[in-house]
A = this chain, B = another copy of it.
Amino acid sequence: MTTLSEVARLAGVTSATVSNVLRQRGKVGEQTRQRVLEAVAQLGYRPHLTARALAEGRAPTLALVVSSIANPFYPEFALAAERAARERGRFLIVCNTNDDPDTGRAYLDQIAGTLSDGVLIMNANLPMDELKKTEQRGAPVVLCMWEKPDAPPELPCIAVDFYAAGATAAQHLLGLGHRHIGALVGSKKSGIHAERYRGFVEACAAAGIKHSLQSARYIGDTVEAGYQATMTLLREEPTLTAIFASNDLPALGAMNAIADLGMNVPRDISVIGITDIQWARVSRPALTTVAVPTEEAARMSIDLLLALIEGRSPSPVMRVTATPQLVQRASTAAPRKRKG
* A interface with B by C-beta (< 8 Å): 1, 44, 46, 48-51, 53-54, 59-61, 69-70, 72, 74-76, 78-79, 82-83, 86, 91-96, 98, 103, 109-111, 113-115, 137-138, 223, 252-253, 255-256, 259-260, 278-279, 282, 284
Q: Which one of B76, B78, B114 contacts A48 once the chains associate, using CB atoms below 8 Å?
A: B114
Q: Is there an interface contact between A114 and B278, defined as CB atoms closer than 8 Å?
A: no
- Report chain B residues within 8 Å CB of A79: 69-70, 96
Q: Is there an interface contact between B256 and A49, defined as CB atoms closer than 8 Å?
A: no
Ordered by A's residue number, 18 sampled pairs between the chains whose C-beta atoms are within 8 Å are: A1-B138, A44-B137, A46-B109, A46-B114, A49-B110, A49-B115, A50-B50, A50-B59, A50-B114, A54-B54, A61-B93, A61-B115, A70-B75, A74-B75, A83-B98, A91-B95, A223-B282, A284-B284
- Report chain B residues within 8 Å CB of A253: 282
- Report chain B residues within 8 Å CB of A49: 110-111, 114-115
- Report chain B residues within 8 Å CB of A91: 93, 95, 110-111, 115
Q: Is there an interface contact between A50 and B46, defined as CB atoms closer than 8 Å?
A: no
Q: Which one of B75, B255, B256 contacts A69 once the chains associate, using CB atoms below 8 Å?
A: B75
- Report chain B residues within 8 Å CB of A74: 75
Q: Is there an interface contact between A78 and B69, defined as CB atoms closer than 8 Å?
A: yes
Q: Is there an interface contact between A60 and B284, defined as CB atoms closer than 8 Å?
A: no
CA–CA, A83 and B70, complex, Å: 12
Q: How far is the CB of A130 from chain B (nearest CB, A)?
A: 13
Which residue of B is nearest A109, CB measured?
B46
Q: Is there an interface contact between A70 and B278, defined as CB atoms closer than 8 Å?
A: yes
Among A50, A92, A96, A255, chain B packs the most CB atoms within 10 A around the CB of A50
- Report chain B residues within 8 Å CB of A111: 49, 91
Q: Which one of B50, B54, B137, B256 contacts A1 once the chains associate, using CB atoms below 8 Å?
A: B137
Q: Is there an interface contact between B113 and A1, defined as CB atoms closer than 8 Å?
A: yes
CA–CA, A93 and B82, complex, Å: 11
Which residue of B is nearest A138, CB measured?
B1
CA–CA, A48 and B110, complex, Å: 8
Q: How far is the CB of A191 from chain B (nearest CB, A)?
A: 23
Besides A50-B114, A253-B282, A259-B284, 7 more A-B contacts (Cβ < 8 Å) are A1-B137, A46-B113, A49-B114, A60-B115, A70-B75, A91-B110, A93-B94
CA–CA, A278 and B115, complex, Å: 32
Pairs A-B, 10 closest by C-beta atoms:
A75-B75, A49-B114, A69-B75, A69-B79, A94-B94, A93-B93, A223-B282, A48-B114, A259-B284, A49-B115
Q: Which one of B95, B115, B256 contacts A282 once the chains associate, using CB atoms below 8 Å?
A: B256
- Report chain B residues within 8 Å CB of A50: 50, 53-54, 59-60, 114-115
